[in-house]
């Protein structure tokens, strides 16, 4: 095939990128064209997303794409984090300023919801792990606070769908991200209308759900004119970043469950790829999620607090005037004494702390452990705790699926953290394959290529990733100390 470009817009909670993927039919190479910051905007006591700012930066990226890649661009598609949404009126005006999922309006809403529909029933229908920021609870919080505004809403779109709407005018919700809402029926793969009605939510605002790889239409003429692009196709990839990342895991074992993945970024999403959702009581007891993937697959997975712990420690150090880069922090952590103190990474206190270092310090004090003093000790504590949490989650996933995991693939920005990769192999007792760093963008772009008939299957996508990226392997080392410490960790996490 002739060389073609596909544009991937990949938005994370901390930054966004417009990336061109150049594909020759066998190998893909990525050219990051534009990077811009993202993050919560404080408004009064609330946290919001600056969605128009994001759209404006994306257009800047599209402009660069037009000048750098010219006429050979086939399509564009967007992925973002999950759960956050934009409401539009019938005249396509934005209703309210979209909220950030870490906003505190959600606190307590989930617990209250269980008196309307019991927890087990919500799980049986949606198969989603209970997290206070799931879209369902965000919408309930909005309904409580702003019933008038909710009445104005005519269209519910998830964040990437909204950006696809800005590009093409389409108003549909892509499936993989829809599964993060807890408003979707896990096996019927459509909106859980009955559940929504019982919560008094307007079912008519939820649009058609489309599968990853759906062609949404051409770039609006106005966008084409202002960016210099031609009216290229707008294609929904797996719009949930985790869904896109898992599509690009370089496994040779598509269709088997003997490999696990960790999509490692602000969050660590650890799971298995399975053909069916697991909606059993045991799955509910572990509070694991069944997120929708490509080709009818499910991601049985857990959200783990992830590198957020380290990112927030770094911000804490910076506030105290100590601006060390990630490389230096990792060196300090490597030199710090092992297993001095541990935390439960998923303790609610770490979700949106005012100061992460203070929270880690308090958690260690309350559990009668030595309090970390130095930067290296804080980071080491966070990393060892994460690796032990990975082991705990892995054991749970194996138990639920009856499968034995033989390798863990770590993908995403966090796979560059070689110390954490080695700790993960040691804690879990299985080899770790690290890479690619850009799994999400690769998944996004290759799913567009597949939608246009340039790639055949999910295993072909994975083979292309293997052909195109260099991966590193980490074999487990002596596990004795990790085995000993694990029981202490389990007590802390109980």
Q: At 102, phi and psi to the nearest 5?
A: -85, 5
Angle at Cα 364 formed by Cα 358 and Cα 367, nearest 5°? 140
Do 423 and 460 touch, CB atoms closer than 8 A? no
Residues 155-194 that bind ligand LFR (CB under 6 A): 180
Beta strands at 233-236 and 214-218: parallel, antiparallel or unpaired = antiparallel
Give yes or no for a contact between 235 and 216, defined as CB atoms under 8 angstroms apart.
yes
Q: x-or-dash pattern for ligand LFR, window 4-43, by CB under 6 A?
A: ----------------------------------------
Query: Is 295 tagged catalytic?
Result: no
249-285 as b/e, with b when 16 or more CB fall inside 10 Å?
Answer: bbbeebeebebbbbbbbbbbbbbbbbeebbeeeebbe
CB-wise, 265 or 372, nearer to ligand LFR? Answer: 265
Beta strands in 258-413 (DSSP E): 259-264, 268-274, 289-292, 298-304, 407-411
Beta carbon nearer to ligand LFR, 376 or 414: 414
Kindly state the smallest distance separating residue 461's Cβ from ligand LFR, in Å.
19
Cβ distance to ligand LFR smaller for residue 100 or 314: 100
Counting residues that bind ligand LFR (by CB under 6 A) gives 13
Q: Which of residues 50-109 bind ligand LFR (CB under 6 A)?
A: 81-83, 101
Place of tokens 């009445």: 151
| Shortest CB 156 distance to ligand LFR, Å | 16
Active-site residue (options: 79, 241, 347, 460) = 241
Q: State the binding string over 290-329 for ligand LFR (x if CB under 6 A, else -).
A: -------------x--------------------------
In terms of Cα–Cα distance, which of 449, 447, 444, 446 is closest to 163?
444
Does position 201 interact with ligand LFR (CB under 6 A)? The reply is: no
Q: Is 24 exposed, middle or buried (0-12, 13-18, 19+ CB in 10 A)?
A: middle
Reduced to 3 states (helix: H, G, I; strand: E, B; else coil), residue 307 is coil
Q: How far is the CB of 176 from ligand LFR (least distance, A)?
A: 10
Query: What x-and-dash track marks residues 229-268 binding ligand LFR by CB under 6 A?
Result: -----------xxx----------------------xxx-
**Which residues contribute to the site for ligand LFR (CB under 6 A)?**
81-83, 101, 180, 240-242, 265-267, 269, 303
* Residues forming the active site: 241
């Amino acid at each position: 095939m002739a060389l073609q470009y596909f544009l991937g817009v990949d938005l994370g909670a901390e930054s966004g990128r417009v990336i061109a993927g150049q594909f020759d039919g066998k190998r893909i190479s990525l050219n990051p064209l534009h990077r811009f910051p993202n993050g919560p905007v404080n408004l009064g006591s609330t946290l919001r997303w600056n969605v128009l700012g994001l759209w404006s930066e994306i257009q800047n990226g599209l402009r660069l794409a037009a000048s750098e890649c010219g006429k050979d661009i086939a399509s564009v598609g967007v992925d973002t984090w999950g759960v956050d949404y934009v409401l539009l009126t019938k005249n396509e005006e934005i209703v309210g300023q979209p909220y950030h999922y870490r906003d505190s309006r959600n606190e307590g809403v989930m617990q209250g919801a269980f008196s309307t529909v019991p927890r087990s029933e919500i799980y049986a229908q949606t198969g989603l792990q209970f997290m206070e920021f799931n879209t369902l609870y965000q919408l309930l919080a909005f309904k409580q606070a702003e019933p008038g505004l909710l009445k104005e809403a005519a269209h519910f779109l998830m964040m990437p769908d909204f950006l696809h709407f800005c590009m093409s005018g389409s108003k549909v919700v892509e499936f993989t991200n829809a599964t993060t809402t807890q408003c979707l029926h896990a096996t019927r793969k459509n909106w859980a209308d009955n559940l929504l009605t019982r919560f008094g939510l307007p079912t008519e605002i939820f649009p058609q759900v489309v599968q990853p790889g759906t062609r949404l239409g051409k770039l609006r003429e106005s966008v084409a004119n202002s960016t210099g692009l031609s009216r290229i196709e707008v294609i929904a990839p797996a719009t949930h970043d985790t869904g896109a990342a898992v599509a690009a895991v370089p496994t040779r074992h598509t269709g088997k469950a003997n490999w696990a993945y960790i999509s490692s970024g602000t969050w660590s999403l650890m799971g298995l790829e399975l053909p069916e959702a697991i909606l059993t009581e045991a799955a509910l007891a572990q509070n694991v999620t069944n997120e929708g993937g490509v080709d009818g697959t499910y991601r049985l997975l857990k959200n783990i607090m992830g590198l957020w712990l380290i990112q927030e420690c770094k911000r804490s150090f910076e506030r105290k005037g100590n601006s060390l880069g990630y490389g230096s922090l990792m060196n300090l952590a490597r030199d710090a004494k092992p297993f001095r103190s541990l935390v439960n990474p998923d303790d609610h206190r770490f979700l949106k702390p005012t100061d992460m270092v203070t929270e880690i310090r308090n958690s260690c004090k309350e559990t009668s452990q030595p309090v970390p003093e130095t930067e290296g000790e804080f980071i080491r504590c966070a990393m060892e705790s994460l690796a032990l949490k990975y082991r705990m989650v892995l054991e749970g996933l194996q138990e639920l699926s009856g499968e034995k995991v033989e390798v863990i693939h770590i993908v995403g920005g966090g796979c560059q953290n070689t110390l954490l990769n080695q700790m993960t192999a040691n804690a879990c007792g299985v080899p770790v394959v690290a890479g690619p760093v850009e799994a999400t963008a690769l998944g996004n772009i290759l799913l567009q290529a597949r939608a246009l008939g340039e790639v055949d299957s999910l295993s072909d996508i994975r083979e292309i990733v293997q052909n195109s990226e260099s991966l590193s392997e980490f074999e487990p080392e002596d596990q004795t100390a990790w085995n000993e410490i694990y029981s202490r960790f389990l007590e802390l996490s109980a």
